[in-house]
Amino acid sequence: MEETVRQALEAGVRAVQLRDKTASTGKLVEQALVLGDMCRQFGALFLVNDRVDVAMAAGSDGVHLGQDDMPLAYARKLLGPSAVIGISVRTCQEAEEAEKGGADYIAANMVFATETKTDLPEPLGLEMVTEIKGATSLPLVAIGGINEKNYREVMNAGADGVAMVSAIMAARDVGKFVKLLTTYSMRRLSYGE
């Protein structure tokens, strides 16, 4: 994992999130310290999924919270005003509430079906990405089943960024794959594609 993250950072990934639903707290802190240091070396954002305690212990840049995790207000109180806090959402109402509550970004959670998200009902689809984006002024990251075949559609639906696990971990050449993604994303933002 560490070598894959390093290759992705070298190729231009600007944010990394540590997500492990089964690791012990000690193991998560250990991983967070290593990955956080790596991200700092490359000037990238480092977030911890769900676990505010691990984010605090490792000195991460922030945390990504689901709807059933620690409430945003408490996370902000513990992490402070400069921490980056993202919230997973599946509806426009949840997006609006996240913005009112002071989230820094929202994540449209499970755009397409994926094996890394087994706790959610059906995928949102591209139309819902567009609807959620229109409900808030916050940056929107799309999560779930995103790969080299569909990421352009997701970006064109309104996402400001995409989160990938399987596609990056399975890439034969992580650096080449990431450069392809970041080149398209930057061109789209510059030229409105």
Catalytic positions, please? 19, 88, 117
C-alpha to C-alpha distance for 140 and 129, rounded to whole angstroms: 9
User: What tokens does 192 get?
Assistant: 């409105």
Q: What is the DSSP string of 85-151?
A: EEEEESSHHHHHHHHHHT-SEEEEE-SS--TT--SS-S---HHHHHHHHHT-SS-EEEESS--TTTH
Helical packing angle, 2-11 and 25-41, nearest 10°: 30
Contact 157, 126 (CB under 8 A): yes
Contact 167, 146 (CB under 8 A): yes
Contact 59, 82 (CB under 8 A): no
CB within 8 A of 5, min separation 6: which ones?
16, 35, 38
